[in-house]
Structure 1
Amino acid sequence: MTTTSERVADSRTRQVSQRISQSVFDGSRLRVVLLVDVHDGAQQQFLEAYEQLCNQVASVPGHVSDQLCQSIENPSQWLITSEWESAPPFLTWVNSEEHVRMVQPLHSCVRDTRSLRFHVVRETGGPAVEADAGSRRLQTAPRIGDGVIRHALTFTVKPGSEQTVAGILADYASPEPKVDDTTALIRTSLFMHGNRVVRAIEVRGDLLAALRHVARQPEVRAVEEAINPYLEQDRDLNDGDSARVFFTRAALPAVHHVTAGQESPVTERHALYYPARDGRGMRLAELLAEQDAAAADDTGNPVLRSTIFQRDDVVVRLVDLRGGSDADPASVLGLGDRARTAELPELIDTAALGADASVLREGASARLLTLARMDLITDRRAPGV
């Protein structure tokens, strides 16, 4: 069992670097809070759907427990909390097709939901709880953030339509950045790699409020309608269930972010695509996160900021660079320490990049960077950012 002095020492060590503002890979327990607004009169239907879902979730690897609560003031408001051994198994499950199928029965009785995810930092409750906490992992020190939430969406378009889609996505009027007094759009960056589209957004405030704000803008809705015929996954934005399923599958959560050193007056933004082998996406994202965390203390590293997004076998790394992207290809790729990347051939699907395993060998970083780099379609910042 870790002693108090060891925990304090580790905490001090963790606080020396105040650069990492987000990571799901610290190994601590995860608490998930789901706020649910149920349609009037549908409480019993919701309860039955939840019990069915609860029985299925109990067998998901990494799941510890869950609890369902109903408001004492408004019977339409419910709260679901669940505990997980760590964030990665939860994210693997919540971003899976299995999860999409599991929650389908809830859609007809739920008006609105909001999901919040937290690492457990401290825990109280007497000797029994403290003893149990000693054997379960807690986040040892608070992370330092910058107030910005990072999220992305990804989807594929029909082969042959790439240029048409790129033209549509590049040509639209930016929505009003201010959502309300506490929420604003900071930056939207859109990239393509072959027929895969990635839209990364940065929000200050409430992410869900920002996404809803953007969806309501007529100029954004017009662009979404214009690309509908070219999507590989059909969607009907006038059908709530169709739109919900599409955007659930398109969600590309940020699993790690690091900002290194002082702000540079001149930066370039790039996105890199790392297709993972079947079932290895989370481990590939973790490996890249380890590399970025280690490189953050290297003042000669060209990467100022790096954000890693992952869902299933899609891993995307968004980087802001000091200067050009070709000066140090290995560092730009996040693969500067070759001793840490021996397992890359087991993780990256090089065939999806149109190459063979030789592209992962030491000395081939420039070629891998060329293959992984996504095409920038548009990068828009809010005024004053």
Structure 2
Amino acid sequence: MNTNNIPPKNTNKKGILLVNLGSPKSTSVADVKDYLDEFLMDERVIDYRWIGRALLVQGIILKTRPAKSAEAYKTVWTDQGSPLIVITEQIKTKLQKLVDVPVEIGMRYAEPSIETGIQKLVDQGISEIVLFPLYPQYAMSTTETVIEKAESVRKKKFPDVKINYIQPFYNREDYVNCLAESIREKLPTHFDALQFSYHGVPERHLYKTDPSNTCKIDDANCINSQVETHNAYCYRHQCYKTTELVIEKLGIPKEKVIVSFQSRLGKDKWVEPYTDETFESIPKKGIKNIAVVCPAFVSDCLETLEEISVEGKEEFLHAGGESFHYIPCLNDEDQWINVVKTLCEEKLNQFYLV
């Protein structure tokens, strides 16, 4: 058989996989239940032993929460589907116009899965993938679980594929500039405080991810730490550092800035202060007009569109607040897409150095 006219297989093609949290397939209670089951049974989200996690999630939470969550999803669902999936697709589309390698998306939970995203790239002849967990700050329940899942899928299904992972970018100057400018453009003329609401994590997660085993969750030691090996895995430090760098760019005095943490689950102690309690308490301190931004998310989703801009607003106004202004995530803003491009290209170039 003459194979002279058959081009050699390209075994060194590169591609990009953007990974976000995920979303139910629809707003039906059944689909929401399936999604919550996969999400909450992740040992890096609820880090109990399997039997304890199963008793909590499948024995208690999934008995009542899916119906309530389904109603919440209905308030943010778009004609195109889940806002998180839609926005991630928009990021992909814009990024694809700026890079000369294939771009796909994957979700940590539900579809399109990480495996689906890798498969689409492999089907295009890709053997080297830059995987971008779309989380600015590191946490067990975000960056870590994405990397662990991707490595599990790679070893089982795609052993010949190489993956370069983009690390948290919470303190990158280009990202900080992008976030600061996005906030500046959307800030109301008058506000008493700018509140940075980050997703919550149990305090024990901070201890588990601390390589030095010295974490005390102490304001001075944690927030102002200069130990890079410690900071690389400290979610709380990274949240406060993002806030510090952004308000410096904005020129907003520290006394007008609030940091809080949302979305806690169960009775365990989570990182404080809690966002909902803050909304309820600050009007009594004379803070009647606030703007709120959620920098743990790059794409608007249930946790921002419903939990903050709807529920949070109601809590704040009911407690005596006068005006509540939610500042959207970076979503598919052009400056953010350029940051995504830069981060991806840095990792694509590293393949050449191996």
| TM value normalised by structure 1 | 0.28
Answer 1 or 2: higher relative contact order, Cα 8 Å, separation at least 6.
2
Of Structure 1 and Structure 2, which has the larger fraction of its residues in helix? 2
Of Structure 1 and Structure 2, which has the larger fraction of its residues in strand? 1
| TM value normalised by structure 2 | 0.30
